[in-house]
Structure 1
Amino acid sequence: MNNHFAGQSFLKEIDFTPAELTYLIDFALHLKALKVQHIPHPYLQGKNIALLFEKTSTRTRSAFTVAANDLGAHPEFLGQNDIQLGRKESVGDTGKVLGSMFDGIEFRGFDQATVETLAQTSGVPVWNGLTDDWHPTQMIADFMTLKAHFGHLAGLTLTYVGDGRNNMANSLLVTSAMLGVNIHIGAPKDLQPADAVVKIAKDYAATSGSDILITADPKQAVAGADALYTDVWVSMGEQVDYGNRIKALLPFQINADLVAGTGKTGTIIMHCLPALHDHQTELGAKLGTQFALPAFEVTDDVFNSEQAVVFEEAANRMPAIKAIMAATLGELFIPDSLFA
């Protein structure tokens, strides 16, 4: 019986060791290959999975649904209007009820405390599909993408530019440090990661050898980057002055000049999506017209360039989530020697 993952929740990256994260990345790559070869892998045959969504979702919901079906499990979507999460019934009580009926629970929402409480009270594995603090399932997909592209992780340099305090910046900073990937965060001073998150990363980097650079200089941030990563400039539910945010982050836009600033020809472009790279969305058109900008965090030419791997990265959400669910809920045999 697997004693590393069995029954464990995945609420933030540091719930697992660097070796365990590496296993999940490699297992996800393996499950992706099995699907391509049409080889069945029903590790969760007959299990029932609750999918709790306070925030809307395209990739996370789709990935959990398809992954559950591929694994032989039955997913049940419970949206914000379907259950009383925290409104008429406490999160703790909800966790106990759902845990008595479901074998695993996914939660995507705002407060990290909500997913932590569900894990404490439900008695079943709980998986964080995104909170305001962390986005751990995205990390398995992102580092899968990096490993598939470069063949290794340790020693790569990943640069994230934009809002350096959001869940993506937190997760990329800590996960890179755990896995020996050099991580640069380029963001204005008031949008740089919190000291507590930086400390977590530095503690891991002391062992892994990862170099950490946090800077308000976009050129310094991107120099030597093997991968450039960005995210939307305003997170879901965040109340800010768009004009001020855009003005602050425009120097960190991933455009042709910033890509050239890496000094490398093989740099890949990453984004967790959705992206405001053109006016083909209501929000992109509205903001683009208001602020006279064709794009925001990434320009359309870069987003659609051969260097961009954003849609491969999006597709990898599914095998990544499949690996996480199978490892924590399936009765897999995983040799202890992998974690020695």
Structure 2
Amino acid sequence: MNFYNYHLINDFYIKKYELLSLNEINVKKKKFFLFNNKICIINEKQSLRTINTLTNFFNFLNIKYTVINNKHNFRKENIKDFSKTLGIMYDYIFFRGYNDIILKIIAKYSGSVLINMLSNGYHPIQSINDFFLTKNKIVFFFGDFNSNVFRSMIINLSKINIILIIISPKIYWNYIFLKKIFNKKKIILSEKLIIINKKITIYNDVWFSMGENNFKKKINNLINFQINKKILKVLKIEKIYHCLPSYKKTNFMNLKNLEIHENIFESNFSMFDKQIIEKIFTIKSFFIISKKNFFKI
């Protein structure tokens, strides 16, 4: 991100010291004060937790904002001109959408602070939030290696001294992505479950993002990477993080659960509730930093 460079488009933008700065503010739970910046939320991609958390935060503090849900802007208008229009009207743009290229165009031509609330490639707000919560030195990722929140979490966790173990089908291994950020000491990539005799954290995500439709093929690829009772028996699990509400009672292939069993998702291992609550403080941290002129408009 580089606070002096305005934007949070993906997790490559944020440096280690910036993560720690946000974390310090978040931990202290500093008091927040109102300000008069003009805020726009572009909600192209449906959201349950992320956008609701953001709007609830604004409403609670009586901060005014505008929501743009009209996809017409991206289908018919020149994105460069659209971006300049946004820049004239708004100081902050929170964008949740499908296209990472559009994000970069808006960042380049709007002149506003752009914060990615989720895109096909990355989910920085969620990853920064969960980064604050992840205290364990060993983190297991189960499922689709190319999940946007997996990619973001892996980038951020690679900046500190944490062992990352990715259990994923080989067809999803992204060597180009790995080459950007890892050395061999920081990551273990495997198709088979690796048993270790230490306490661990598990990070999980839904198998299907919005817009995906090839369900049967993906389930066949991922069914052996499900978080279930067998995994609980062989690993010393301390916490389980899940990016979205889990799929339950699905009719796909007569499966009652997909990426995580319902009884585990609702167990004491799950950090689901904590993830929602802490996201409010993560968002607040950004605004506190902006008032210190890190986000200099």
Do these two structures clear the TM 0.5 threshold for a shared fold by scoring above it? yes
Bigger relative contact order, structure 1 or 2 (CA pairs below 8 A, ≥6 apart):
1
Q: Distance in 2 between matches of 1:180 and 1:23?
A: 17
Could you tell me which of 11, 15, 29 is aligned with 2:27? 29
Letter in structure 2 aligned against 1:41? F
Which stretches of structure 1, 4 residues or more, deviate above 6 A after TM superposition?
none
Q: Report 1:149-298 matches (<5 A).
A: 156-192=137-173, 194-202=174-182, 211-217=186-192, 219-220=193-194, 224=198, 226-240=200-214, 242-262=215-235, 264=236, 266-276=237-247, 278-279=248-249, 284=250, 286-287=251-252, 291-298=253-260
> Which one is further off, 311-320 or 104-113?
311-320
Could you tell me which of 14, 20, 25 is aligned with 2:18? 20
Q: Distance in 2 between matches of 1:115 and 1:294?
A: 37
Tell me if the contact between 2:3 and 2:294 (Cα under 8 Å) persists in the aligned partners.
no
Does 1:311 pair with 2:273? yes
1:258-317 Cα distance to aligned partner (Å, 9 max, x none): 12322x2x52111011211x32xxxx3x33xxx121211000111111111112112222
Could you say if the C-alpha distance between residues 184 and 121 of structure 1 is closer, same or farther in structure 2, counting changes exceeding 3 Å? same
Aligned to 2:45: 55
> What secondary structure is seen at the aligned counterpart in 1 of 2:159?
helix
Letter in structure 1 aligned against 2:177? V
Tell me if the contact between 1:71 and 1:322 (Cα under 8 Å) persists in the aligned partners.
no
Letter in structure 1 aligned against 2:218? R
Q: Distance in 2 between matches of 1:177 and 1:321?
A: 22
Tell me if the contact between 1:41 and 1:70 (Cα under 8 Å) persists in the aligned partners.
no
Deviation for aligned residue 1:185: 1.1
> What secondary structure is seen at the aligned counterpart in 1 of 2:267?
coil
Tell me if the contact between 2:100 and 2:121 (Cα under 8 Å) persists in the aligned partners.
yes
Does 1:41 pair with 2:32? yes
> What secondary structure is seen at the aligned counterpart in 2 of 1:226?
strand
Tell me if the contact between 2:143 and 2:205 (Cα under 8 Å) persists in the aligned partners.
yes
Deviation for aligned residue 1:7: 5.9
Q: Distance in 1 between matches of 2:57 and 2:5?
A: 18
Gaps of 5+ in 2: none
Could you tell me which of 97, 105, 123 is aligned with 2:85? 97
Letter in structure 2 aligned against 1:251? N
Sequence identity of aligned pairs in percent?
A: 26
Cα RMSD between the aligned structures?
A: 2.3
Letter in structure 2 aligned against 1:267? E
Q: Distance in 1 between matches of 2:179 and 2:62?
A: 40
1:108-154 Cα distance to aligned partner (Å, 9 max, x none): 1111111111110110110001111111001111012224xx6xxxx
Q: Distance in 2 between matches of 1:64 and 1:297?
A: 26
Q: Distance in 1 between matches of 2:150 and 2:190?
A: 13
Tell me if the contact between 1:92 and 1:117 (Cα under 8 Å) persists in the aligned partners.
yes
Letter in structure 1 aligned against 2:57? A
Letter in structure 2 aligned against 1:315? I
Q: Distance in 2 between matches of 1:98 and 1:141?
A: 27
Could you say if the C-alpha distance between residues 232 and 17 of structure 1 is closer, same or farther in structure 2, counting changes exceeding 3 Å? same
Tell me if the contact between 2:38 and 2:64 (Cα under 8 Å) persists in the aligned partners.
yes
Could you say if the C-alpha distance between residues 199 and 333 of structure 1 is closer, same or farther in structure 2, counting changes exceeding 3 Å? closer
Could you say if the C-alpha distance between residues 223 and 186 of structure 1 is closer, same or farther in structure 2, counting changes exceeding 3 Å? farther
Deviation for aligned residue 1:29: 2.8
Could you say if the C-alpha distance between residues 333 and 198 of structure 1 is closer, same or farther in structure 2, counting changes exceeding 3 Å? closer
Aligned to 1:130: 118
Could you say if the C-alpha distance between residues 225 and 234 of structure 1 is closer, same or farther in structure 2, counting changes exceeding 3 Å? farther
Letter in structure 1 aligned against 2:213? Q
Gaps of 5+ in 1: 35-39, 151-155, 335-340
Letter in structure 2 aligned against 1:294? K
